[in-house]
C-alpha cells in the first residue's frame, strides 16, 4: 500500500490544527487503522478505531439504524455517514472516517460489482460522502485499494477545509 504522502499530509494538518481523528471501518478490515498507526507521531492525532463487520456490532457500537442496515446489508451512504459521525463521539475525536462496502462479489445478493461508501465527519457532522468503485481484484487487494483511496480523499478533504 502506497500511503506515505497522504498520511504525511493528514498528519501535518492534524498537528497544525491540534485536531484528532478516529476510524470506523468494515470493508477495509483494519487497514486504515494500521496505516494511521504507522504515521510518525500517530499518538498525537490518531485516537483509534473500530472494525465492525456485522449489523449487530454496527448498531451497538456505532448506533447505525438497524432497520436501514438490514435492508441494505449495511452497505449504503447512510451507513457510512452514521459510522463517521458516531466514531467521532465514540473516540472523542474531531474527525471521523466511516467506510463500508464489498471486497468480494456476493452472487446470492446480486452484488457483482465491488463498491463501497466512505464518509468523513468533522465534529460529528458529515462533511463528505461518496461511493467508491473498485476494479476486479482479490479480496485483500480490494481492501487495500479502498484504504488507499480513502486516505487520498481524506487528505484532499482536510486540506480543502484548511482554506475555508
**Digit-coded pLDDT (tens) for 131-162:** 999 998 999 999 999 999 999 999 999 988 76
Render pLDDT for 15-62 as a digit per residue (tens, 0 to 9). 999 999 999 999 999 999 999 999 999 999 999 999 999 999 999 999
CATH code of residue 91: 3.90.950.20
Identify the domain containing residue 104 by its residue range.
4-156
Whether residue 161 lies inside any domain: the answer is no
Mean pLDDT of 72-87: 97
What pLDDT, on a 0 to 100 scale, did the predictor assign at position 161?
75
- Give the residue among 70, 66, 76, 68 at the shortest CA–CA distance from 98: 76
Whether residue 104 lies inside any domain: the answer is yes
Domains identified in the chain, total number: 1
Report how far Cα 150 is from the mean position of its chain's Cα atoms: 7
Provide the β-strand partners of residue 102. none
Whether residue 61 lies inside any domain: the answer is yes
Amino acid at each position: 500500500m502506497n500511503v506515505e504522502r497522504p498520511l504525511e499530509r493528514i498528519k501535518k494538518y492534524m498537528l497544525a490544527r491540534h485536531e484528532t481523528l478516529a476510524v470506523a471501518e468494515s470493508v477495509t478490515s483494519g487497514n486504515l487503522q494500521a496505516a494511521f498507526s504507522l504515521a510518525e507521531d500517530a499518538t498525537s492525532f490518531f485516537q483509534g478505531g473500530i472494525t465492525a463487520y456485522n449489523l449487530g456490532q454496527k448498531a451497538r457500537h456505532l448506533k447505525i439504524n438497524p432497520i436501514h442496515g438490514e435492508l441494505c446489508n449495511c452497505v449504503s451512504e447512510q451507513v457510512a455517514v452514521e459510522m463517521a459521525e458516531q466514531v467521532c463521539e465514540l473516540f472523542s475525536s474531531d474527525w471521523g472516517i466511516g467506510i463500508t462496502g464489498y471486497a468480494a462479489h456476493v452472487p446470492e445478493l446480486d452484488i457483482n460489482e465491488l463498491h463501497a461508501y466512505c464518509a468523513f465527519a468533522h465534529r460529528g457532522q458529515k462533511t463528505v460522502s461518496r461511493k467508491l468503485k473498485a476494479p476486479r481484484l482479490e479480496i485483500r487487494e480490494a481492501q487495500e485499494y479502498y484504504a488507499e483511496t480513502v486516505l487520498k480523499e481524506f487528505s484532499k478533504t482536510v486540506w480543502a477545509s484548511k482554506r475555508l
